[in-house]
Structure 1
């Protein structure tokens, strides 16, 4: 990895990472602020959710309102965070590789002592660091929300909360790896952005549609988003196998992106 390039690219992208991080922190604090009011009427709200078609509640991650982590898993980790980090992975991976090639900046980087492999590895590290930073700040905000808004009055399982954040990191490590691979093979920024976006939101759509009806549940098996189930984490299900698969997808796609970028022809 090139330390100088890493520092420079982190500096360039830090404002964007922090915007996503503080946006995520704001939303999760909002969830904690809302929960006490929700908890007081949890019985009536649960009845309302149960009256909905089963697929609707499953699709949008409604996991009951009996605990703070159950509420947050559905209202935040099941949808809002997924959309935020999906956009981040697609945009940043494109900026880190395809944009530099498209604008000619990559040729300038490679004219220095930096090799293609080191440049690609450094850019992959920047994306991974950004994801880690966002989820670390989200986790800290969650602890702050628990202290400020829940206190001793409402139970909150912090170990489950950490597991949800770890699962989210692994999912988007995999999504980021796929987007980075597309970007590393592209000369055109818009084309890379379009392909990465289509793949990412295509996976998201397959998972969402598969949850709605048992008749098309098989569609979920085509999506890596099916390996991310914050509601099941709250319910105590062991997600170790899914976590290992997501980590493997991320490692393989990032490694493949670096290896193929080293061998490809770049426009001058």
Structure 2
């Protein structure tokens, strides 16, 4: 681990991290506050008005408990998309960004192996995602305790967020692999952005039901099932295992590719 490089990445990413975190916290607090009978009636009417659109974003089932309500309105869109924005921007900056602007030549010229450099960058990306999701989880629990004491099933909620972390761990592994293996920054952004967004759109279409439901087998998002995680269904365990293995394999391949590739600096 190169702690000097790690410190530099923290300082360089703090602005983007803070913006993403602020938006997430604002949205989470708003959703927790909306958990009341009057708002539930309004949301039910909205769902009846636009059933297909609400289903596409995983917001068709409001539920009868706080955790079901949060699962519907937090984990169908915002907690999938905003961390993804952070992952895409960070993963590309951490490797391909340095290669593109020529800074990688200076990093490699220092008394640090390629493995140490790429491992430091991979560790920073995973740690950033973990911290981001940990803070949002704690905020949701804290405000749920304040506004609706004893309403939130803490154990099930933590399981749900572990699943969310494994999902973003897998996606970040893919984005990091793309960053390590692409020929230029434009290509890296194209693939690291295009594929995850395509997977999300496929998931949105499958949520609409009917013959489109079979599309869920073609997206990684189908391995993240909030309804199974909140009930702590046993089938959710192999889904989490699959996400972890996908992420681990992608990070291992990314590190190997970067260490072995020819860099024209």
What TM-score do the two structures reach when normalised by structure 2? 0.92
| 8 Å Cα contact 1:24/1:134 also seen in 2 | no
Query: C-alpha separation between the residues in 2 aligned to 1:123 and 1:21?
Result: 20
CA shift for structure 1 position 58 = 3.8
Q: Report the equivalent of 2:133.
A: 135
Aligned-residue RMSD, C-alpha: 2.0
User: How many angstroms apart in 2 are the aligned matches of 1:157 and 1:163?
Assistant: 10
Offset at 1:145? Answer: 1.0
1:126 Cα deviation after fit: 0.8
> Counterparts of 2:134 and 2:46 in 1: how far apart (Å)?
34
Residue in structure 1 matched with residue 10 of structure 2 by the alignment: 10
Assess if the C-alpha contact under 8 Å between 1:63 and 1:73 holds in 2. no
Q: Is the CA contact 2:9–2:124 (under 8 Å) kept in the aligned structure 1?
A: yes
**Mapped partners of 1:57, 1:16: distance in 2:** 29
Give 2:85's aligned residue.
87
Contact 2:141 2:152 in 1 (8 A): no
| Shift of residue 139, structure 1, vs aligned partner | 1.1
Higher deviation after alignment, 244-253 or 200-209: 200-209
Q: 1:222 aligns with which of 213, 218, 223?
A: 218
**Equivalent position of 1:199 in the other structure:** 195
Map 1:48-197; keep pairs closer than 5 Å.
Answer: 49=47, 53=51, 56-61=53-58, 62-152=60-150, 155-197=151-193
Q: Which runs of 4+ in 1 moved over 6 A?
A: none
Please state how far the C-alpha of 1:96 moved relative to its aligned partner: 0.5
Tell me, yes or no, if the aligned pair for 2:67 and 2:230 is still in contact at 8 Å. yes
Residue 242 of structure 2 corresponds to which residue in structure 1? Answer: 245
How many residues align structurally?
A: 263
Q: Which runs of 5+ in 1 are unaligned?
A: none
Residue 208 of structure 1 and its aligned partner are, at CA, apart by: 1.3
Q: For 2:46 and 2:84, how far apart are their aligned partners in 1?
A: 30
Deviation string, structure 1 residues 129-173 (Cα, Å, up to 9, x no partner): 110111111011112211222125xx2111111112111110000
* Partner Cα separation in structure 1 for residue 44 and residue 131 of structure 2: 34
Alpha-carbon distance in structure 1 between the residues aligned to 2:209 and 2:142: 38
State the secondary structure of the residue aligned to 1:35: coil
> Does the CA contact (< 8 Å) of 1:187 and 1:266 recur in 2?
no
Contiguous gaps of at least 5 residues in structure 2: none
Further displaced range: 120-129 or 139-148: 139-148
Q: Aligned partners of 1:236, 1:190: CA distance in 2, in Å? A: 41
Give CA deviations for 1:75-120 in whole Å, capped at 9, x if unaligned: 1111111110111111110011111000001111000011111111
- What is the CA distance between 1:51 and its match in structure 2? 7.6
Task: Tell me if the contact between 1:2 and 1:122 (Cα under 8 Å) persists in the aligned partners.
Answer: yes
Deviation per CA, 1:174-232: give whole Å up to 9, x if none. 00000000000124222211111011101111111122133122221111011111133
